[in-house]
Structure 1
Amino acid sequence: MFEFPKFNRSSVKNDVLSGLTVALALVPEAVAFAFVAGVEPMIGLYAAFMVGLVTSLFGGRPGMISGATGAMAVVMVELVMEHGVQYLFAAVLLTGLIQILAGVLRFGKFIRLVPYSVMIGFVNGLAIVIFLAQLGQFKIKNADGNLVWIAGNDLYVMGGLIVLTMAIIHFLPKLTTAVPSTLVAIVVVTLLVYFVPALDTRTVLDFLQGMTGDENATIAGTLPTFAIPAVPFTLETLYIILPYAFILAAVGLIESLLTLTVVDEMTGTRGRPNKECMAQGAANMVNGVFGGMGGCAMIGQSMININSGGRGRLSGFTAAIALLAFILFASSLIEVVPLAALVGVMFIVVIGTFEWASFKMIRKVPAKDVFVIILVTSVTVATDLAFAVFVGVIVSALVFAWEHARHINAEIKESQDGNEKVYNIDGPLFFASVSNFLELFDVNEDPRHVTVDFAQSRVVDHSAIEAISVLNGRYAKEGKKLHIRHLSKDCRKLLHKAGVLVETDASQDPSYAVVSDTLG
């Protein structure tokens, strides 16, 4: 399962430096997602470390970054509120088991069913979500404990530092690519704020203390410790955590596999979805027994890594180990990093993630694809990623079915003596096309022998079988004989299993090959 990576000097440098960059950006996000889930900040930081470490070593997509995510955090809130954090750990443990099972059963291959229009809607929606999440950094708590927008000099300083960060990231690669521009931008802005007192702006420590309301809050901590979740091992506990575990597993796998596909497109390489399922599951099982909130792939951090030059497993490994080092030894250094620098980094991620070409596509692609893109983008922003992808796939499938339902027709040929008529069917026969299929036949006027040729068609589902049965019944009622030919082996099996008594000629039936799942 583990592949020992091949290193060269350039790849090591790129992976290590990009990993450090990712680790810096992971800190505030892990803390924020912990608060979304209703747990302590350290639980989010532990999750980011453990998920990142396990998936970087054993995952199916080198260069992809995983950690604590908002998509999974929102699912956890109710469980934590009603039953406590120990039940969360138990649910995360079960989530990991379900995800491993999904990988073993090779469910990762189903990511191929997600249409390209849904993929575009996914990345656009996620870019908007990342952008909106950064706006929270422009708010502070007033004396009454309410969040208010910053204004005046504070806003100008923060805005200026964000612009400076983005400018360094954008222009530095034009001068040199020796070091990741993102890392340089964070270091430069941090040093500038540290040594220029006039540039007083909020830091990671201010963010943490503001979230907790504790002036002594810090990201300093110890190593996570092993502990079985302190819950009763009963059917009642299973009844409580199982629904959450299934939702967490589904959300985690959908976000991870879609992120894997996006990284595949960016790097021109191919990841292994089933292997990634198992790695995500193993990571979440580790979280369940070491006190983490669980997680999955993070498209924002993955974009930072890829854009900074990280391509191998070493980049994700470095990010995880660096995050642990920050927690254990260097918390004071990380706590002085300005939020403006991290916000600037994420704004660059937003610009790079959003599929700007989708605006040009509006006049070039079918209206149904444009509708799906807008729908998935909107649902992602309004609800959550998993639901948006589910809606997008269902709508795309229904549109596909509607389009193909109208494409079934028949070429009709009659024998010279008029005793036989042949209907050469063109187009798939399935639930949406059965009505049009039955309307092709003139039962009353047809001769005693009618042949339906499926050489250019295929019987797809039970509705199609039922349509053939209905057609056979109509001809039988008129004392006429229906013959079927050019059915595939699986179609004949469906007819036989359904008990449809119709004459089939197997001698000319085709055999269809099936694509292998080897690459899963």
Structure 2
Amino acid sequence: MFEFPQINKSSVKNDVLSGLTVALALVPEAVAFAFVAGVEPMIGLYAAFMVGLVTAIFGGRPGMISGATGAMAVVMVALVSEHGVQYLFAAVLLAGLLQVLFGTFHLGKFIRMVPHSVMIGFVNGLAIIIFLAQLGQFKVKDAAGNLTWLQGEAMYIMLGLIALTMAIIHFLPKLTNAVPSTLVAILVVTLLVYFVPALDTRTVLDFLQSMTGDENATIAGTLPTFALPAVPFTLETLQIILPYSLILAAVGLIESLLTLTVVDEMTGTRGRPNKECVAQGASNMINGVFGGMGGCAMIGQSMININSGGRGRLSGITAALALLAFILFASGLIEIVPLAALVGVMFIVVLGTFEWASFKMMRNVPVKDAFVIVLVSAVTVVTDLAIAVFVGVIVSALVFAWEHARHIHAKVDQNKEKTEKSYSINGPLFFGSVSNFLELFDVQNDPRHVVVDFAESRVADHSAIEAISVLNERYVKEGKKLHIRHLSKDCRKLLHKAGVLVEMNVIEDPSYAVASDKLG
């Protein structure tokens, strides 16, 4: 079955060096997502710093990297264009509050309901999205302002530097693990381009100036400052931002909790979903009052961190503080980093994130699971992550219900005097199986007393209660008595509330355990 690679424990050196590597990759991502959302680059950089720092310190998954993300940025576009950036800050603030409430009420455990096939589709879909996002770096604006593909020597230099970056990342660990190969690759390619004028290729500064259309654009900035969103605190404002806040909160939590699960598998440890929800919510609330666009976990940067040796909270803290240091003191150094080096890093992330074994798996797993993997991957690419996960879970649930609806059957036994007949039900009784359940009984030919034994079954929902009620009415019409045995306490309560008058054997009824919130 699908398994993530297992990674060993952390060390201070690895965490610090890995954090520096992640910080370098965060810069162009944060700038790009800021433009997707329709806000200034510094708003994206501030968000990457604040979300990354708060979740690294207080989050439930050490080693996981958070920042400004494309999944949330696409939700913000309409709000910013229609109402302005101040309404975005208010929406992010409210979204953060909703996420804190989500974690406070221990709802993070529901991530366990996401099927494994949906998880595979999630990582495959995100790998494709990360790959497609990098293709934009192969385009430049022509004289008319239109984006066109690189041509000739520029394209060859770009491809060559990407290949060199990927080769260093792949082969250096075979020689030494003293430093993260990703960091070495970025430094080598940057120095090569800086000292070899013939290797004329686009840098982070070129990217920023191309995005802004401003030749004086820079990532240099100051510390974010506190300011409440400049919006009227009225019911009308709430009506405007609430729909966006709900979507932002949902998208952020889904991407974070699924990324948390992936990192759990890779590190062989267990994160705390509810704690992550609260930390992410707090970070977004801080963003709302310090001028950031908010964010959530980033699977691409998390993979860079894990693959570079980052395991502890120090890696995320280092990444956030290094990003702030770049903004305040070292913008000139970051601006000369070639885009080719960062694209090469992300291509390695794509190769490591995509579950290539899923192609082979298609021949071995049930058709329904293969279909869900492909469906979730496709929907993730075409729409967004939240919709893809919802679709995957719903389809998986419907398939599960359809399959288990056919699994209900009964073992029939009758006493020698033929005065009592027993039906031992096997399989869950729920909306999908009620028709098959009712067909198990021979009401007209059964004796006066009929016993239905639920020791190997479970009354799951209101449709099941209605089915028992209908069955009881059928026997009553025939002048016969229906008895129920081995029914759990909660199921008996449901029957009583529904007013189903059926004799029940209470002494032999079992009790069912319930999942605990302690591990959340």
The TM-score with structure 1 as length reference comes to 0.98
Percent identity, please. Answer: 84
1:309 maps onto 2:313 in alignment:
no
Which one-letter code corresponds to 1:108 in the other structure?
G
- CA offsets per residue over residues 4-25 of structure 1, 9 Å max, x none? xxxxx97111000000000000
Query: SS state of the match for residue 363, structure 2?
Result: coil
Which one-letter code corresponds to 1:176 in the other structure?
T
CA distance in 1, matches of 2:317, 2:49: 9
CA distance in 2, matches of 1:451, 1:88: 62
1:20 maps onto 2:7 in alignment:
no
Give the equivalent residue in structure 2 for 1:339.
Answer: 339
Query: SS state of the match for residue 456, structure 2?
Result: strand
Which one-letter code corresponds to 2:477 in the other structure?
K
Pairing of 1:230-379 with structure 2 (within 5 A): 230-379=230-379
Moved more, 62-71 or 360-369: 360-369
Which one-letter code corresponds to 1:355 in the other structure?
E
Which one-letter code corresponds to 1:459 in the other structure?
V
Give the equivalent residue in structure 1 for 2:4.
Answer: none
Which one-letter code corresponds to 1:251 in the other structure?
V
Give the equivalent residue in structure 2 for 1:466.
Answer: 466
Could you list the runs of 5+ residues in structure 2 that have no partner in the other structure?
Answer: 1-8
Give the drift of 1:363.
1.2
CA distance in 1, matches of 2:55, 2:118: 25
Task: Count the aligned residue pairs.
Answer: 512
Give the equivalent residue in structure 2 for 1:417.
Answer: 417
CA distance in 2, matches of 1:216, 1:92: 30
CA distance in 2, matches of 1:211, 1:50: 23
- CA offsets per residue over residues 356-411 of structure 1, 9 Å max, x none? 11111111110100000000000001100110000000000000000000000000
Pairing of 1:385-400 with structure 2 (within 5 A): 385-400=385-400
Which one-letter code corresponds to 1:112 in the other structure?
R
Which one-letter code corresponds to 2:228 in the other structure?
I
1:195 maps onto 2:172 in alignment:
no
Give the drift of 1:135.
0.2
CA distance in 2, matches of 1:146, 1:475: 77
CA distance in 2, matches of 1:516, 1:343: 44
Give the equivalent residue in structure 1 for 2:500.
Answer: 500
CA distance in 2, matches of 1:242, 1:302: 30
Which one-letter code corresponds to 1:147 in the other structure?
L
Give the drift of 1:516.
1.6
CA distance in 1, matches of 2:359, 2:91: 41
Give the drift of 1:514.
1.6
CA distance in 1, matches of 2:240, 2:499: 44
Query: SS state of the match for residue 463, structure 1?
Result: helix
1:452 maps onto 2:459 in alignment:
no
Give the drift of 1:515.
2.5
CA distance in 1, matches of 2:385, 2:515: 29
Which one-letter code corresponds to 2:147 in the other structure?
L
- CA offsets per residue over residues 33-66 of structure 1, 9 Å max, x none? 0000000000000000000000000000000000
CA distance in 1, matches of 2:311, 2:451: 58
CA distance in 2, matches of 1:85, 1:515: 42
CA distance in 2, matches of 1:195, 1:510: 76
CA distance in 2, matches of 1:231, 1:69: 24
Give the equivalent residue in structure 1 for 2:6.
Answer: none
Contact 2:10/2:312, CA 8 A, preserved across alignment:
no
CA distance in 2, matches of 1:318, 1:513: 43
Query: SS state of the match for residue 508, structure 1?
Result: coil
CA distance in 1, matches of 2:465, 2:320: 54
Could you list the runs of 5+ residues in structure 1 that have no partner in the other structure?
Answer: 1-8
CA distance in 2, matches of 1:147, 1:131: 18
Query: SS state of the match for residue 347, structure 1?
Result: helix
Give the equivalent residue in structure 1 for 2:128.
Answer: 128
Query: SS state of the match for residue 161, structure 2?
Result: helix
Give the equivalent residue in structure 2 for 1:5.
Answer: none
Give the equivalent residue in structure 2 for 1:66.
Answer: 66
- CA offsets per residue over residues 216-267 of structure 1, 9 Å max, x none? 0000000000000000000000000001000000000000000000000000
Pairing of 1:123-202 with structure 2 (within 5 A): 123-202=123-202
Query: SS state of the match for residue 309, structure 1?
Result: coil
- CA offsets per residue over residues 128-150 of structure 1, 9 Å max, x none? 00000000000000000000000
Give the equivalent residue in structure 1 for 2:408.
Answer: 408
- CA offsets per residue over residues 448-471 of structure 1, 9 Å max, x none? 111100000000000000000000
Give the equivalent residue in structure 1 for 2:82.
Answer: 82
CA distance in 1, matches of 2:513, 2:308: 43
Give the equivalent residue in structure 2 for 1:221.
Answer: 221
Which one-letter code corresponds to 2:371 in the other structure?
F
Give the equivalent residue in structure 1 for 2:3.
Answer: none
CA distance in 1, matches of 2:123, 2:41: 28
1:426 maps onto 2:423 in alignment:
no
Which one-letter code corresponds to 2:81 in the other structure?
M
- CA offsets per residue over residues 295-325 of structure 1, 9 Å max, x none? 0000000000000000000000000000000
Give the equivalent residue in structure 1 for 2:42.
Answer: 42
- After the TM superposition, which segments of 4 or more aligned residues of structure 1 sit over 3 Å from their partners? none
Which one-letter code corresponds to 1:117 in the other structure?
S
Give the drift of 1:512.
1.1
Contact 2:10/2:310, CA 8 A, preserved across alignment:
no
CA distance in 1, matches of 2:414, 2:303: 62
CA distance in 1, matches of 2:105, 2:355: 33
- CA offsets per residue over residues 461-484 of structure 1, 9 Å max, x none? 000000000000010011110000
Give the drift of 1:122.
0.2
CA distance in 2, matches of 1:110, 1:173: 38
The TM-score with structure 2 as length reference comes to 0.98
CA distance in 2, matches of 1:311, 1:10: 5
Give the equivalent residue in structure 1 for 2:487.
Answer: 487
Which one-letter code corresponds to 2:193 in the other structure?
V
Which one-letter code corresponds to 1:389 in the other structure?
V
Which one-letter code corresponds to 2:443 in the other structure?
V
CA distance in 2, matches of 1:125, 1:235: 38
CA distance in 2, matches of 1:96, 1:497: 39
Query: SS state of the match for residue 507, structure 1?
Result: coil
Give the equivalent residue in structure 1 for 2:94.
Answer: 94
